[in-house]
Amino acid sequence: MSERNPIVTEADLHAFADGLLPPGDHARLEAWLAENPEQADMIAAWQAQNAGIKSLFAQYETSKEGDRELVLPTPAPAPAATARRFRWLSTAAASLAIFLVGAAAGHFGPQLLTRPDIRLTGIEALPRQAQSAFVVYASDVRHPVEVGADQEAHLATWLGKRMNVAGLKVPALQTLGFQLVGGRLLPINGVPGALFMYENATGQRLTVLVGSNKENTTTSFRFASTGTVETFYWIDGRLGYAVTGEISRDMLRQVADECYKQFSS
């Protein structure tokens, strides 16, 4: 294990970390570790890991007579076998701890991380979904949309049918310098939604998202910003709308106003 003291084996170090050394050997190892700080740090890490595992199982802790023999059978095996056994126990304990933490996170995580008063169908969720969709699709060069602008009528009919919205409109934004690129079906809160994409002469893109709104309310325009991505959004009846782009806030508001007029007409 160490060129300075070959008598100290890896099995000795594991036994020391687990508190399984006789008093005399324990004192010898303490003195050796004082002269070998790297190994001392390693032992400290093992002990912290052991403490974490014990803490994890503290509420289930029970003991039976003879449990110690499960770890230290008598007679003691040969040194090489002891080293392998301690390595296996340490690895198994770490793996078990990782598994249990992962299992606990999977079981309790959604309850711990999801506040019951926050609904993904709410008005505040709309801009986050719109911004995510914009970041994912607006930068795509070859496949930004599923249905191109040359099939606009089919696009409106298809998305309207999937969303159960009669007469869904595809906003016309040519007067503001933006041409329709196309659109795609988008999952919003687990139900079908629509995403329309537009582009101006300089290659700037923006998106118009339409999703179902279970809150059934009406709101005025609201604004949300994440980095360079800006969004104007509102709710009108059972539908929520969001206009998103990396363009000036003034232009984005003009687009949102135009979309509002067309969707409401």
Q: What is the DSSP string of 163-231?
A: HT-TT------GGGT-EEEEEEEEEETTEEEEEEEEE-TTS-EEEEEEEEEEEEEE---EEEEETTEEE
Q: Is the four-CA dihedral 139, 143, 149, 150 of positive or negative sign?
A: positive
User: If we measure between CA atoms, which residue out of 265, 233, 236, 230 comes closest to residue 251?
Assistant: 230
Structure tokens at 60: 């289930």
Structure tokens at 141: 């060069």
The amino acid at 39: Q
239, 212 Cβ separation under 8 angstroms? yes
How many Cβ atoms from other residues are within 10 Å of residue 58's Cβ? Answer: 8
Radius of gyration of the chain (CA): 32
Assigned CATH topology for domain 125-264: Phosphorylase Kinase; domain 1 (3.30.200)
**CA 244 to centroid of chain Cα atoms:** 23
Enumerate the domain spans of the chain: 10-113, 125-264
- pLDDT per residue, tens digit, the chain (265 aa), is 444 444 788 788 888 888 888 888 888 888 888 888 888 888 887 777 776 666 655 555 555 565 555 555 545 555 555 555 555 555 555 555 555 555 444 544 444 344 333 333 456 688 899 999 999 999 988 899 999 999 999 999 999 999 999 889 999 999 999 999 999 999 888 889 999 999 999 999 999 999 987 776 777 788 898 889 999 999 888 899 999 999 999 999 999 999 999 998 7
